[in-house]
Amino acid sequence: MNAASIAALSNSGVNVEVIPETGSTSADLLARASSLSAPLLLIAEHQTAGRGRAGRSWLSSAGNSLTFSLAWKFEAGPQALSGLPLALGVAVAETLGRLGQQVRLKWPNDVLKDRDKLAGILVETTAAERGIWAVIGIGLNLVMPDEMERDIGRSVAAVPWLARMDRDALMAALLDGLAGVLREFEHTGFAAFAARWNLLHAYQGEVVRILDNGAVLHEGVAAGVDDAGRLLLDGAEGRIAIAAGDVSLRVKE
């Protein structure tokens, strides 16, 4: 990929850097945040130590995925970022939809295709002189080799049709979608995205279980998210709202 080409194809005004390989683009941006003066997109052709939620790893292979991070400064404090990962999920899903690939969202931060994980979103923050830097890490599978799927240990999704698209144009489209949502989020918070997220909800109306380290915390019918990004669950005890945390959602068999 070419940074100048991506920047020229994008309407975001965001600076772009492309590097051949790194451990984690998010770790790189977090380390550089204090010296940044404007949003920056960092793309790695190959990432060897990608980060997932709750300390998990994100596995990828060179040339078969997009692995990138976007540093974005918010003037408000961390409390204003409630629901941000879900809004970013909307950005990715809507962008892929415009490119002809319909996907769904799984609370709190996964993009699914045919019920399998296609992309993951991880938001990490670090303090700024005035406000806070959010570093948004995204991994998107384009092609999934059999050996990589074996390493991951579960069925995962890919979008081989988009893999044939010009990578710079694909990356520019994703950047524009993310930047547009981030600018809107700065003014509205997550409330403006709740209905859009619910339209993309993979498990709306289905019985799901909320797990924490394998233990079932709650079970009920998934009723979407509220204006704060909390998952609404209709169970035996009535409707409850679950805040984002180290929990995993599973559909009841």
Active site residues: 53, 117, 250
Could you give the CA distance from residue 241 to residue 95 in angstroms, rounded to a whole number?
28
Edge to edge, what strands does the sheet with 104-106 contain?
15-22, 40-47, 65-74, 132-141, 116-127, 110-113, 104-106
Residue 199: partners with Cβ closer than 8 Å, 6 or more residues away = none
Cα 38 versus chain centre, distance: 21
Q: What SS3 string covers the chain?
A: CCHHHHHHHCCCCCEEEEEEEECCHHHHHHHHHHHCCCCEEEEEEEECCEECHHHCEECCCCCCEEEEEEEEEECCCHHHHCCHHHHHHHHHHHHHHHCCCCCEEECCCEEEECCEEEEEEEEEEEECCCCEEEEEEEEEECCCCHHHHHHHCCCECCCHHHHCCCHHHHHHHHHHHHHHHHHHHHHHCHHHHHHHHHHCECCCCCEEEEEECCEEEEEEEEEEECCCCCEEEEECCEEEEECCCCCEEEECC
